[in-house]
Structure formats: structure tokens, C-alpha cells
Amino acid sequence: MTKVQVAKIERLTRKNDPDATKENILKIATEEFVAAGFSGARVDEIAERTKTSKRMIYYYFGSKEGLYLAVLEQAYTKIRTLESELDLENMPPIQAMAQLIASTFDHDDQNPDFVRLVSIENIHRAEHMKRSAVLSQMNIAVIDIITRILERGYADGSFLRPVDPVDLHMMISAQCFFRVSNRYTFGAIFERDLSSEALKTRHKSLIIDAILAFLKSPPSDMS
């Protein structure tokens, strides 16, 4: 296929359904970055798999890093959107917190690519993520959600333990994230299949009960 033909196809694609084209590029790019990391992923491979060209990818995303950031932003948008749709404001504080934890657990379990992407970005010390104003603003939302649940819980006596909302978010994320990020190594060491439905059900209850018990307990001398 000549360059002229390729250019014509790209113009038609952008004109006919640019959103679908971008979505397909992001889908394939996610798979490539998850499999090979930022450094190992090749834009040529993404272009080939999406039946586009590097030029079209750069047209939409500017660069390889721009594409990688778009993948990260899409991944975080998914979980932040999910949290915003839980209607937690209309639940009692304990139920709302339990629902938020359960939602985080289910999201991480059902989206291992998200966990791998975050792990990859940690290897890079978040150097790409720090350049995204979208990500920094987007992730404030979950802290606002947790803050409002805590405030309602303290007001009605459901929660007794003072806790920083960011610290609590870290507690929730750490426990839900670990069982996916370390699924294979932990499973190999202890001969447990963390993807089994029985273990998932037990672990979800364990995590919810542990965090709620912490919030319901009076502060210790070390708090």
C-alpha cells in the first residue's frame, strides 16, 4: 500500500468514526503496555494491530508518552467513575464505607490490567503520571468521597477512630491491590489460588470487616 493510499485511509477513518478509532488504539495500547511496560512497548506494533499507522497514533496522542498517559487516564477514569456512581451519600456511613471497599475490591479483581499498569508506573517512579494534570485532579474525587463518609460517621457515632482520608484510601487500596498484584507469587509460595471464588468471597469480607473494625474502635495511645 502506498503512502498516498495510507493517508487517504487515515483521513477517512478520522472523518468517519474518530472516537471508535481512538478507543481501539487505547484498547490495544493498554494490552501492549501491560505486556511490555512503557519502555518495551512499540508504537509500530500498536499501529500494526490497530491497522492504523504511527502517524495516526501521533495525530491523536502526540507521542508514545502521550499515548501511555491516555491509557493511564482511561484506567483511572474507570474506577473513579465507578465510585461516583455508587450513590454512597444515600447510605448510612457504615454501609457506604463497606460498599466503597467492596467496589474497590471488585474493580481490582476484575481489572488486572489496571493493577499491572499502576505497578509499571511505580517502576518508573510515577515520572509520567506526574506530568498529567488530569490524573492529579481526577484522583482527588475519591478522597472527597471518603471524607464525606467519615464526616457522617463521626457525626452519628458510627466511627470513633480519627483517620486521615488519604491514609484510609491507602489502606483500602493496599489490601485490594496486593491480592491481584501478588496473586501469582503469593499463590506459588502458599499454594493458594487467589482467583478462586471461595477465596475472593472470604477475602472481601475479611478486608471490609478489618477496616470497619478499625474505624469503629476508639483511638489508641499511638493514634
Q: What is the CATH number of the domain that holds 182?
A: 1.10.357.10
Q: Are residues 96 and 149 in the same domain?
A: yes
Distances (CA, A) of 74 to 22, 165, 199, 214: 12, 24, 29, 33
Band (pLDDT 50/70/90 cuts) for residue 1 is: very low
Q: What is the DSSP string of 50-84?
A: HTS-HHHHHHHHSSHHHHHHHHHHHHHHHHHHHHH
What is the structure's pLDDT at 2? 55
Number of domains in the chain: 2
Q: Are residues 118 and 11 in the same domain?
A: no
Q: What is the DSSP letter of 41?
A: -
Q: Are residues 86 and 191 in the same domain?
A: yes
Boundaries of domain holding 92: 71-223
Q: Are residues 53 and 34 in the same domain?
A: yes
Cα separation, 193 vs 109, in Å, equals 13
Band (pLDDT 50/70/90 cuts) for residue 8 is: low
Q: With 70 as the cut, is the pLDDT of residue 7 above it?
A: no
- Give the count of beta carbons closer than 10 Å to the beta carbon of residue 111: 16
By the 8 A CB rule, do 160 and 169 touch?
no
By the 8 A CB rule, do 158 and 93 touch?
yes
Q: Are residues 104 and 41 in the same domain?
A: no
Q: Are residues 46 and 80 in the same domain?
A: no
For the entire predicted model, the pTM comes to 0.87
Q: Are residues 115 and 7 in the same domain?
A: no
